[in-house]
Amino acid sequence: MSDKASSEQHKSPRASRVMMTESVLPGDGNPLGTAFGGRIAQWIDIAAAVACQRHCRRRVVTASMDDLHFLLPIRVGMIVELRAQVNAAFRTSMEAGVRIESEDPLTGERRHVCSAFLTFVAQDEHGQPVEVPPLVLENDEDRRRAHEAGERRSLRLARARVRKERLLAELAGQKR
Ligand SMILES: CC(C)(COP(=O)(O)OP(=O)(O)OC[C@H]1O[C@@H](n2cnc3c(N)ncnc32)[C@H](O)[C@@H]1OP(=O)(O)O)[C@@H](O)C(=O)NCCC(=O)NCCS
């Protein structure tokens, strides 16, 4: 089997890994001289989407992005490194985790500034959800991440159900 064919079939979290490096330019910042949170969220979304596409080789849409907590500011001029991988594959959806670190380009000092968990749904060419391949867990770390992803999924879907019901009730009220 060629290297390409074997890597296509080996659907481990490792095979989905993404490393994305960005430089925070003035256009990415706010008037305080730190990175605009929305720009960081955009990079997170892209890194996670690529990890999920590497896993399922389908087009994917963002179903949800869990709470984002920016623990430390990132100054304009810093380097931002995003590492993403698929933590768990469910039926048609996948959870990707993203770790974001800032790096001072002059000193090399690195800081973990944020972590994020996103869910993507794989779609076929008609935009219908389609099953994704199972994730092959290779070690204890993979198993821990997959287990925690399963716990987050239960909470996330319960919250999504409540929000959807509220939205539908609001829409029904507007039609009356
Ligand atoms: C995400 C989306 C495809 C789900 O559609 P849906 O009609 O709820 O489809 P289903 O009920 O068949 O669910 C499909 C999968 O999405 C998951 N899902 C649905 N809502 C979710 C949410 N809020 N968070 C996480 N997963 C969610 C379901 O659990 C299911 O996964 P599973 O098959 O692995 O169990 C649909 O809501 C959508 O298209 N949203 C817009 C996506 C988009 O445009 N994103 C870009 C930003 S605007």
Low-confidence ranges of the chain (pLDDT < 50): 1-7
Q: What total of structural domains would you count in the chain?
A: 1
Question: What is the extent of the structural domain holding 33?
Answer: 3-175
Atom number, ligand 1, closest to the C-alpha of residue 63: 1
**3-state DSSP call for residue 21?**
strand
How far does the centroid of ligand 1 lie from the alpha carbon of residue 34, in Å?
33
What six digits make up the tokens of 148?
């925690």
Rounded to two decimals, the pTM is 0.93
Considering only CA atoms, which of 90, 85, 80 is closest in space to residue 134? Answer: 90
Residue by residue, DSSP assigns 84-127 as EEEEEE-SSEEEEEEEEEEE-TTT--EEEEEEEEEEEEEE-TTS
The CATH number that applies at residue 94 is: 3.10.129.10
Which residues lie across from 123 on neighbouring strands?
59, 129
Mutate to test the pocket of ligand 1, among 93, 124, 131 (most ligand atoms within 8 A of CB): 93
53 lines ligand 1 (CB under 6 A): no
At residue 8, the pLDDT reads 53
